[in-house]
Each structure stands twice: as C-alpha cells, then as structure tokens.
Structure 1
Amino acid sequence: MDLPLAVYRPPACLNGAAPPPAPPSGPMDGFLQTPLGPSREAHGSKMAPVSPASSCSEPDQPTLADIGAEIRRLAANMVTKADLQSLTATLTTSLTSAVSALRTDMEAQDGRIQMLETQALESQRRATAADTALTRQGNMLLAQRRQIEDLDNRSRRSNIRVRGVPEATHRALPPNPGT
C-alpha cells in the first residue's frame, strides 16, 4: 500500500534563516505597481505592519498533532503479522484443496490409462492370433485347391475318349451255367 506521507518541514524562521526573498524584479515591475502619490506617502500603507513571527509561518505546514494523527492512521492501515498469517493460512488451504483435486483427477486418469493399456494389449494379442489363424487358413486353402485340381485331373483321365475305340468296353457276361 502506497499511502502519501505528509512531510514535515519546519518554517524557515525556526532554522535561523531569514524569511523567503522577494520575487525578482523585472522590466514590468514599474507598470504593475501604482505610484504612490503625496497623499498616500503621508498616511503610509493601509495594511497593518507585519510582525516577525507571522512572516515565518507557512500555512501548508502540518502541526505535530497532524503528524501524530497521520502516523496513527498509517499504522492502523499497515499489514500486521496476524494479517500475514491469516493470508498464508488461507492461501495454504486453497492450494491444498487445489492440489487434492488435481491428485484425485490424476488418479482417475491413471485408472483410465491402465484400463486403456490393458485393452490395447488384449487387442494386440487378438490381432496377432487372428493374423496367425489367417495365415494358417490361407495355407490350408491353397493345399485344398491343389488337392481339388489333382482330383479333377484324375477324374478327367477316366473320361478320355479316343476316336475309333468303342466306348463300351464291357461285354455282356453269359449267365451262370449252374443257375
């Protein structure tokens, strides 16, 4: 908290110095001042004479009571050790709850990750078994195709027709003589 502090400056007359000097004179001084006529010189100024004590007082200087009040006000607004401890306790509580919530979320994520890893390993095992079975079935299909072609070729050998050779090669057998 940056609060403005009132700075105490003692009047110049208390330091043993003379009152502040008069403003510098310039070419316009004669124009701005009215000449004093003979009637005014006799009577003098209409202003009361200035006492030496009043010439050294400055209206913007705070008194000791003002300074004391300002110090008490600033002291009341200062952060105390109890305030810092309370702030630290509040911050610790909120951070602890946030870390606890994060830990819970991480544990839930860890369970999900383990489940997904288990499913991935099971899927990989099944895919490997399916690839092995597919390769084995492909080999069996190829072997069966070769066997079918061989049987087809063997059956065709029996169906060969040669021109000029009668197709019926079997003669009728005579009936059994004893029957």
Structure 2
Amino acid sequence: MAAMEKSPAHSAPSSPATSENSLEGSNLKPLLSQLPSKLDLELMFSKMERSFGDKIQSLHKEVSQIGHRVQTLEEEGKARALHITNIQSLQQTHNEAILFLQRKIEDLDNRGRRNNLRIRGLPETQEGETEDIILLLTGLFNKILGRPLDTVIKFDRTHRAIRPRALSQDTTRDIICKIHHFPLKEAILQKARRLRNIKHGDHQVLIFQDLTQSTLIARRALQPITAALSDMNIRYRWVYPFALVVTQQGTTYSISTPTDVQAFQQALKLPKDTVEDWTGLPL
C-alpha cells in the first residue's frame, strides 16, 4: 500500500478578537489626532485666565464704585440728619421766642384792659330807640355797691360788643365799659362776685373782668384743671402775665404754658385730664 501524501500545511485562520483590535486601532488614530495637544490646552487655559481676569477686574471696579457710592450716601445721610437736628433745635428756639412774645403782647393787652368790665345780660333797646348805656350802667353799679342810684360814676368808654356772625340776632350783646378809677372798678367786680344773683328787671346779669381772646381760650383749655381743683377744695387764682397759680404750705405751683400742666398735676396729685394746647405751637 502506497504511503499517503501529506497535505500541504495551511496557516491557521485569524481569530475574531485579533481582527476587532486591528479595526479599533485603525479607527482611533484619526480621533486621537484630532484631540488638542498640551500646547493647545495651555493656550486655551491662558485665554480663559485672561478672560476671567478681565471680568474679575471689571467686577472689582464696579464693587469699588458701589462702595464709594454707599460711603458717599452714608456721609450725606449723616450730614442731613445733623442738619435736621439743627433745624429742629432752631425751630424749638423760635417757638419759645414766639411764645414769649405772645405772652408779652397778651400781658400788655390785658393790662390795657385793667379798668374794663364786661357786662352780660342787659337787654338792648328796640330798633329806633336811643340807648343810654352810661345811665344803664350807673344805676346797675350803684345798686351793686349799695349807693344811691344817681351817684356819678366816671366812664372813659362804653359800648356794645360787636356781634359775631354766628351769634343770633335775638341774643343780647355784651356791654364793655372802662371805668376811670381802678379802685371803683375793683370794688364793683369784687361785690359782683360775692352776689349770687344780680338782676336788672327780669334779666339775669353777669359781670366779668374784660380779657383778651387768647386769655379766654387759655382759661377755657384749663377748665379740667380748675374743675379738679374745685372738687378738691384747693384755692387757685389767675395772675398776669397769664398763669394759673396755687399756693400750698408755702410752695407755689403754676401753669403758664402747656408744658407746665403735667408737673402741676403730679405736684398737686390731680387727675391726669387731657388739656388742649392753647398756644398752637409744638413745644
């Protein structure tokens, strides 16, 4: 039997893994060639650094400007606050000076009325009739003093008060008179205060000291105080320049401006009634 011939040797086929690696290697080379180099990265980071540096510098400049503006505003605010404080202090000084002048004028006006009396309740004559006020007052005052009705009283002036617009035409106007002799005027006023009921015919008559309008407003504002003093049987008096005065155990307490009210109430242990400001000034 003839010997069998050997088949020529065949190379072993390549494995699939070897083929895939070869393919991937050939595909990655173009990709790797496109990646930035170290120099590219350095240039890119350098540009970014410059860009961020410029932005940070710009931001720092803006913050610095804002800080300067805030500082300027704070300084201006402090200057305005100081200016307002100075204005308030100056206004307080002006208000005190105005009040002082008001009190001086009021005192001068009241002293010019020292001989004046205001009589309320005397009827007016009918239209067309002549009114003899001097004769009317002479009889009334002599009756109050207990003297003959025809005793002569010297008057410097006598007249009816001007009728306010709000006053009804049927309301009798007050009579204001100036008696020449001050002691006689005081005697009439004191006697009238002691009398409970002064009549002229069927008419009730009241007699007051003639005072300025500002003094009357102040006295009206202090009515809660005078009412409390009367309830506690504490004697008080009005003085010139305008003031409400109380003397107890050798100590004198007074109210001449609205700022005196609280201390006056505390010192005399009065109810803390609200008293309106009669000056019209913020003191």
| Bin of the TM-score, shorter chain as denominator length | 0.5 to 0.7
Query: 1: CA distance between counterparts of 2:93 and 2:17?
Result: 110
Shift of 1:149: 1.9
Displacement after TM superposition at 1:58 (Å): 4.5
Q: 2 CA distance for matches of 1:159 and 1:137?
A: 33
Post-superposition CA distance 1:96-115 (Å, at most 9, x none): 11011112212221222222
Match of 1:157 in 2: 114
> Could you say what secondary structure the match of 2:20 adopts?
coil
Q: 2: CA distance between counterparts of 1:52 and 1:99? A: 69
CA shift digits 1:17-70 (9 cap, x unpaired): xxxxxxxxxxxxxxxxxxxxxxxxxxxxxxxxxx9956x765993373x34423
Structure 2 unaligned blocks of 5 or more: 1-9, 118-136, 142-151, 157-179, 181-283
Q: How many residues align?
A: 117
Whether 1:147 and 2:99 are equivalent positions in the alignment is no
TM normalised by structure 2 equals 0.35
Deviation at 1:127, TM superposition (A): 0.2
The structure 1 segments of at least 4 consecutive aligned residues displaced by more than 6 Å after TM superposition are none
Q: In structure 1, how many angstroms separate the alpha carbons of the residues matched to 2:36 and 2:49? A: 19
Amino acid at match of 2:76: Q
Q: C-alpha separation between the residues in 1 aligned to 2:21 and 2:114?
A: 136
Q: Amino acid of the residue matched to residue 62 of structure 1?
A: E
Report the CA distance shift for 1:141/1:102 in structure 2 as closer, same or farther (over 3 A): same
Bigger relative CO (Cα 8 Å, ≥ 6 apart): 1
Q: When the two structures are superposed, what TM-score results if normalisation uses the length of structure 1?
A: 0.53
Q: 2:19 aligns with which of 48, 61, 64?
A: 61
Aligned to 1:167: 155
Q: Shift of the alpha carbon at 1:79?
A: 3.6
The letter for the 1-side match of 2:110 is: N
The partner residue of 1:75 within 32, 51, 73 is: 32
1:135 aligns with 2:61: no
More helix, by proportion: 1
**3-state secondary structure, aligned to 1:157:** coil
Unmatched 5+ stretches in structure 1? 1-50, 170-179
Letter in 2 for 1:92: E
Q: Does 1:100 align with 2:57?
A: yes
Larger gyration radius, structure 1 or structure 2: 1
Distance 2:76 2:28 in 1: 71
1:113 equivalent among 54, 62, 70: 70
Structure 1, residues 128-152: CA drift from partner, whole Å, max 9, x if none? 0111011111211221222122111
Identical residues among aligned pairs (%) = 22
